[in-house]
Structure 1
Amino acid sequence: MTIKLSRRQMLAGAAAAAALPMPAIAQNAPIKIGLLTVKTGPLAAGGIHFEEGFVTFLKEKNYTLSGRKIDLIVADTGGNPAGAKTKAQEVVERDKVDVVLGPFAAFELLATLDYFAEAKMPTLAFAGAEDVTQRKRNAYVTRSSYTSAQCLYPLADYVLHEMKLKTAATIGDDFAFGYEQVGGFQRVLEEGGGRIVKKLWSPLNTADYAPYIAQLPQSDVVCEVLAGSNPLKFTKQARGLGVKQPLVGGSTVADDTIIAAHDESAEGLINTNPYSLDHDSEANKRFIAEMRKNYGDGVRIGHYAACFYANGQLIEATLAKTGGKADDREGFVKALRSVTLADTPRGPLSFDDYGNAVIDVYVRRAGKVNGKMANKTVKTYHKVSQFGGMDPKAFLKEPVFSRDYPPMKS
């Protein structure tokens, strides 16, 4: 039997259908965030701190930002370039994430940089490889942490103007992170009338620093830019072998996660960091309390966790600007880079025109507190950029910091 409907009946039916509840649309679906970190191998400690910091923020917000539920997907890159590339492809193509955080190491970020750009994937990068936000910058990768050299500019300034020292010897891990830290330290030291008298490079897996310590020349200060357990070994051996000069170093030398593992040989060690446990702010007090609530009083809290807690704040502020939307990727990155946060556990946070964080850098002095080594902030440098006070256009005309650049002055 054929049923014929009049035009009036058809219009009435269409109106009734329009009044029915619509199915859930993408706007109400969870926002998926992919966290590329290291959970196995020698870099795992820092990678686990990543996850602790970000999860602490999400728990505080009940996994909901700007009315959108957050679905966190954690991928273990294994701490190597191939693993990072594979996991990047998995979270983007299989898991369909909206935003990526990480990866951990410079060689991992360099292995995934072009892929994130091709996939048009908004990425909050961590690794310090300078050119990611300089000569090789792209429209989708934003560094929310700091560049390799960013904490070394204030360190050199502090050595010159507060410690009143002019000549320095340096020792760094023999890869890009070490080269770029020494490069930043050297540039500012020499601009202020100081001089590097010797650069030493040691493999990441160095067990005995005695041969390198024997090569240290006479100088006013020794700058160590070592990562992992290496600063613990070098500092102890340097003092044990009679090195008397003041020791200074960058963000990985005495981070709050490892400072208690140093012994009395680190007494007086000056170090610079984008976060300090003793930073006196409501945001930092809340962050520390939440970290301890989630992971116990013995949890190690340092700049890795603080950076990723602040990443949560950045994403929350970005979604507030986009009305909770993450599907317009160009719009999301534009909103992200326009965010200015007055108070994170790290202090104020904003971005320059090249997509890199502008940060406060804390100068700390190591000393014993209740029988254990701890850091005490002695000076704060505000609004430190990746260019260290140099005009960006002039900076970018020069080569990236490397093993041989800047060259030694005779």
Structure 2
Amino acid sequence: MAVLLASCGGQPAQGPGQSGGNPESPSGSSGGTESGSAAGEPIRIGLLVPLTGVFAAPGQYMKEGFELWLKEVNNQVAGRPVEVVTADTQGNPDVALTQARRLVEQEKVHLLVGPLSAAEGLALVPYIDGVRIPSIYPIVSADDLTQRKIPKYVVRTGWTSSQTTHVLGDYAYKKLGYRRVAIIAYDFAFGWESVGGFMQTFQEAGGKVVKVIWTPLNTTDFSPYLSQIPKDVDAVFASFSGSAAIQFIQQYKRFGLTAPLIAQGNTTDESTLEQTGPEAVGIVTALHYSAALDTPANKAFVEAYTKAFGHVPSYYSEGTYVAGLVLQQALEQLRGDVSDPDAVVKALRSVQLSETPRGPYRFDNYGNPIQNVYIRKVEQVNGKLQNTVIDVVQNVSQFWTYDPKEYLQRPVYNRGVPECNACGG
């Protein structure tokens, strides 16, 4: 049986000129897959996660989710042992690229899994495609990775930033009855795309967005931004994660704002929910997973995960666990042969899973999962906070209800797209 290898430590970041000039590995090999078909030899997987830095907490959840899958398959898939080398990206795109090069060129891994942030994921694409290393992105949600600029060797098993907020914008107008909202979110691509999905469907349904407030990524004091939120709105939509989500929610309540909060699902993720505290109660979010989802598959996953790690899983945990399930089915289809990176990618994108912790799962023609999106409400149950599922929208595409070809003619959601329809008054 193979063992879970120790983590690679962080290395000095290379500058763009050093890392981006020639993406090919020194040997010209296709991602270290020379012995990829050797029966009985280990399949080597490089796990890219932030274990230090601002994303260390969700990074740990990612690592735990993958470890649970590995434990459940007894470190073996398709008759071959599996070895995992975990590398700390520090949440830094330059470090992520340095670590990916180390895993491929020195550790000779056959596949990569990770990283966490969109910035890291986008930075890795030229290298991944250059060396032809099959890579699974379980968390990175940048819309265009499965829309206008699809990498050849990246398989996304997670979601797009706007996939769940398309649902929430429509739901906020039609089910929650909100007509006028203000928006506050991160001022970078993830914030723009999650806000864009919400604005698109909310405004199309007839809703009015009266204010959009962007906050810098490193914001800790939200009071200058909270003071800009109009008092005469039905609700406030927010998009944050990690420590920023904790600080935003706590400060929102303490600032005396009373409009209901609705949010992109990471804002109340289980990795930060208990730290956020009772201020989170009542927030409605949309995401493709909740640890409180009442299905046999999720109950079994939550029980096994909690037993192994002493706390409930988060979306980050479930993301890497499902990445393992997808990888397992693909490798079984290939009888463990990972020597041909194109065949590996094709097998990964063909996977359909009828039962996962998040529900049924299949890929669309562009390589993004079609999956359920859950409307969740933070509640305190038996003394603990949870994202109680209050509604389900089944089989949600990254294109929502739009025609994909027409959708792709539009620009990707950004700071000014779509336009705010009522910010002038």
Matches within 5 A, 1:95-244: 95-125=107-137, 126-217=139-230, 218-244=232-258
- Aligned-residue RMSD, C-alpha: 1.5
Q: TM-score, normalised by structure 1?
A: 0.91
Q: CA deviation at 1:227?
A: 1.4
Within 2, Cα distance between the matches of 1:261 and 1:270?
A: 18
Q: Residues 349 and 358 of structure 1 are in contact (CA less than 8 Å); yes or no, is this contact kept in structure 2?
A: yes
Within 1, Cα distance between the matches of 2:211 and 2:408?
A: 26
In structure 2, the residue matched to 1:284 is 298
Provide the secondary structure at the position in 2 that maps to 1:350: strand
Single out whichever of 157-166 and 181-190 deviates more from structure 2.
157-166
In structure 1, the residue matched to 2:3 is none
Q: CA deviation at 1:95?
A: 1.5
In structure 1, the residue matched to 2:58 is 46
In structure 2, the residue matched to 1:30 is 42
Match of 2:105 among 86, 93, 96: 93
Residue identity matched to 2:158: S
Residue identity matched to 2:286: T
Matches within 5 A, 1:334-373: 334-373=346-385
Within 2, Cα distance between the matches of 1:367 and 1:187?
A: 28
Residue identity matched to 2:402: M
Residue identity matched to 2:264: G
In structure 2, the residue matched to 1:252 is 266
CA deviations on 1:19-57 (whole Å, 9 max, x unpaired) are xxxxx9713211111111100011011111111001101
Q: CA deviation at 1:283?
A: 2.1
> Is 1:328 paired with 2:340?
yes
Within 1, Cα distance between the matches of 2:237 and 2:194?
A: 10
Q: Residues 50 and 59 of structure 2 are in contact (CA less than 8 Å); yes or no, is this contact kept in structure 1?
A: yes
Percent identity over paired residues: 39
Provide the secondary structure at the position in 2 that maps to 1:28: coil
Q: CA deviation at 1:238?
A: 1.9
In structure 2, the residue matched to 1:13 is none
Q: Residues 261 and 373 of structure 1 are in contact (CA less than 8 Å); yes or no, is this contact kept in structure 2?
A: no
Within 2, Cα distance between the matches of 1:103 and 1:216?
A: 34
Q: CA deviation at 1:373?
A: 2.4
Single out whichever of 276-285 and 373-382 deviates more from structure 2.
276-285
Within 2, Cα distance between the matches of 1:71 and 1:271?
A: 37
Within 1, Cα distance between the matches of 2:60 and 2:160?
A: 21
> Is 1:273 paired with 2:275?
no
> Is 1:84 paired with 2:96?
yes
Match of 1:381 among 380, 384, 393: 393
Q: CA deviation at 1:384?
A: 1.2
Q: Residues 52 and 88 of structure 2 are in contact (CA less than 8 Å); yes or no, is this contact kept in structure 1?
A: yes
Residue identity matched to 2:394: H
Within 2, Cα distance between the matches of 1:263 and 1:44?
A: 20
Q: Residues 302 and 312 of structure 2 are in contact (CA less than 8 Å); yes or no, is this contact kept in structure 1?
A: no
Q: Say if 1:161 and 1:323 are closer, same or farther in 2 by CA, change over 3 A.
A: same
Matches within 5 A, 1:52-63: 52-63=64-75
Q: TM-score, normalised by structure 2?
A: 0.88
Within 2, Cα distance between the matches of 1:350 and 1:279?
A: 19
Q: Say if 1:275 and 1:189 are closer, same or farther in 2 by CA, change over 3 A.
A: same
Residue identity matched to 2:243: S
Single out whichever of 367-376 and 75-84 deviates more from structure 2.
367-376
Provide the secondary structure at the position in 2 that maps to 1:236: helix
Within 2, Cα distance between the matches of 1:233 and 1:82?
A: 27
Q: CA deviation at 1:273?
A: 1.7
Provide the secondary structure at the position in 2 that maps to 1:344: coil
List runs of 5+ in structure 2 lacking aligned partners: 1-35
Within 2, Cα distance between the matches of 1:316 and 1:119?
A: 23
Within 2, Cα distance between the matches of 1:260 and 1:369?
A: 12
> Is 1:71 paired with 2:98?
no
In structure 2, the residue matched to 1:6 is none
CA deviations on 1:262-285 (whole Å, 9 max, x unpaired) are 333222110112211121223212
Within 2, Cα distance between the matches of 1:280 and 1:372?
A: 16
Residue identity matched to 1:57: W
> Is 1:318 paired with 2:324?
no
Within 1, Cα distance between the matches of 2:89 and 2:246?
A: 26
Provide the secondary structure at the position in 1 that maps to 2:401: coil
Residue identity matched to 2:392: T
Single out whichever of 143-152 and 364-373 deviates more from structure 2.
364-373
Residue identity matched to 1:179: W
Match of 2:316 among 304, 308, 314: 304
Q: Residues 262 and 373 of structure 1 are in contact (CA less than 8 Å); yes or no, is this contact kept in structure 2?
A: no
List runs of 5+ in structure 1 lacking aligned partners: 1-23
Q: CA deviation at 1:232?
A: 2.1
Provide the secondary structure at the position in 2 that maps to 1:320: helix
Q: Residues 132 and 341 of structure 2 are in contact (CA less than 8 Å); yes or no, is this contact kept in structure 1?
A: yes
Q: CA deviation at 1:59?
A: 0.6
Q: Residues 37 and 339 of structure 2 are in contact (CA less than 8 Å); yes or no, is this contact kept in structure 1?
A: no
Within 2, Cα distance between the matches of 1:101 and 1:257?
A: 20
Q: Residues 186 and 214 of structure 2 are in contact (CA less than 8 Å); yes or no, is this contact kept in structure 1?
A: yes
Aligned length: 385
CA deviations on 1:364-386 (whole Å, 9 max, x unpaired) are 11122233322211011111111
